[in-house]
Amino acid sequence: MTDRELVERAFTMLERAYVPYSHFPVGAALLCEDGAVFTGCNVENAAYGSTICAERTALVKAVSEGRRDGFVRLAVVGGGADYCWPCGACRQMLYEFAPELELLVARGDHEFVTLPLAELLPHGFGPKSLG
Ligand code: THU
């Protein structure tokens, strides 16, 4: 799957986003090394802090299906004019399973940039930090 195709998979998730409070839909698509793709959207909650972001939705879908490694790329997209940068909690959750993950970060006009997660979370705290 090309980077463009993964970004467009993430865009298809915008319509699934449950965003009655922020009205800011986010979509994500997580590519595994065997070609499997796990998608996600943000799911908000009346107790605002219980909201889960699109990236974490995709990640927990993958982990709950038995995946723990082999994640290679994650696309995250929003409808806004700016790039949809992953929040701190998502960066941390992704680092747990894929410290070498490449991110494709898009904005509403479908332009995207590619950069490593490690650039957004330098010196991350992960499983090895506990050893
Ligand atoms: N959001 C995500 O889904 N991913 C991020 O990394 C940033 C924020 C969602 C959470 C909330 O539903 C909405 O965007 C506004 O913060």
Q: Domain locations in the chain?
A: 3-130
For residue 102, which of 85, 87, 79, 119 has the smallest C-alpha distance?
119
Query: Measuring from atom 4 of ligand 1, which residue has the nearest CA?
Result: 53
Output the pLDDT for position 122.
98
CA separation for the pair 42, 29 (Å, rounded):
12
Q: Is 7 exposed, middle or buried, given 0-12, 13-18 or 19+ CB atoms closer than 10 A?
A: buried
CA of 48 to the centre of ligand 1 (A): 11
Check pocket membership of 102 for ligand 1, CB cut-off 6 A: no
Cross-strand partners of 76: 28, 105
CA of 127 to the centre of ligand 1 (A): 25
Q: Please identify, by atom number, the ligand 1 atom nearest to the C-alpha of residue 41.
A: 3
112 to 11, 69, 75, 88, 104: CA distances (angstroms): 12, 25, 9, 19, 6
Mean pLDDT to the nearest integer, 18-41? 98
Check pocket membership of 27 for ligand 1, CB cut-off 6 A: no
Q: Which residues, including other chains, have CB under 8 Å from residue 82's CB and lie 6 or more apart?
A: 107
Mean pLDDT to the nearest integer, 81-91? 98
% of the chain residues with pLDDT over 90: 98
Average pLDDT over the chain, rounded to whole?
Answer: 98
Q: Are the CB atoms for 41 and 53 separated by under 8 Å?
A: no
For residue 121, which of 96, 88, 97 has the smallest C-alpha distance?
88
Mean pLDDT to the nearest integer, 3-21? 98
CATH of 3-130, one of 3.40.140.10, 3.30.70.660, 3.30.70.890, 1.10.730.10: 3.40.140.10
Output the pLDDT for position 41.
98
Q: Please identify, by atom number, the ligand 1 atom nearest to the C-alpha of residue 19.
A: 12
Query: Measuring from atom 6 of ligand 1, which residue has the nearest CA?
Result: 86
Helix or strand (DSSP H, E) at 89: helix 88-97
Check pocket membership of 22 for ligand 1, CB cut-off 6 A: yes
The verdict on whether 8 is a catalytic residue reads no
Output the pLDDT for position 74.
98
pTM of the model: 0.98
